[in-house]
Amino acid sequence: MTMIDTAAAMAIGGYLVASLVGAAAQQARVLTRLGQVESEILRARQIEHLLDSAIDAARANPPASEPVAALTATSIVIVADRNRDGTIDPHSAERTTFRLRERGGSTALMHAIGRQWVTLRNDLANTSHLAAHDTYGAETGEAASVAVVSLALAPTSGASARLVARIPR
């Protein structure tokens, strides 16, 4: 083997090592991004579960009035007569609220069961919104006619999600 052959073999070996290091770095970036996406999906599913739980409670324990007690552009209140006494106790688990609240340039998603408030997300863009639709698919602002609730979450970084829940009728 001559000096030129040795130099060529070393150059090829160096190129292969650099390629492997580059591929490993790219794989690490891809795995990191997949982890972030998985985390965003999990966070969205947790919020969806809370919304579904409130609606399932209203379905299983229908209140004397409509299951959506109040509706604004930024909040929805879902009620369920859990103890079946014919009244809704606003300070108990019979009343569940979801609210989008602007906080210093971003939006927070708040959740309340009775009077206990919890911030579910505080990293949402101001484009996040709550929409309610009637049985014909038209957007509505009247609590009595809500058939579907849509919550669009747009994080300031990461993947956005749209959560949709059907209100029992």
Question: Using one digit for the tens of pLDDT, what is the confidence trace for 74-104?
Answer: 999 999 998 888 888 889 999 999 999 998 8
Is 7 in a helix, a strand, or coil?
A: helix
Token couple for 31: 């795995």
Mean pLDDT across 26-50: 82
Count of domains forming the chain: 1
Q: Cβ distance 35 to 141 under 8 Å?
A: no
With a cut of 90, say whether residue 11 has pLDDT above it.
no
Paired residues of 52 in beta bridges = none
Domain that holds residue 134: 3-166
Element of type H or E holding 129 = strand 129-133
Give the span between the Cα atoms of 160 and 72, in whole angstroms. 22
In this prediction the pTM is: 0.75
Mean pLDDT across 40-45: 83
Mean pLDDT across 99-126: 91
pLDDT grade, residue 116 (50/70/90)? very high
pLDDT value, residue 169: 66
pLDDT grade, residue 161 (50/70/90)? confident
Give the chain's mean pLDDT: 87
With a cut of 80, say whether residue 1 has pLDDT above it.
no
Give the span between the Cα atoms of 83 and 12, in whole angstroms. 76
Q: Cβ distance 118 to 140 under 8 Å?
A: no
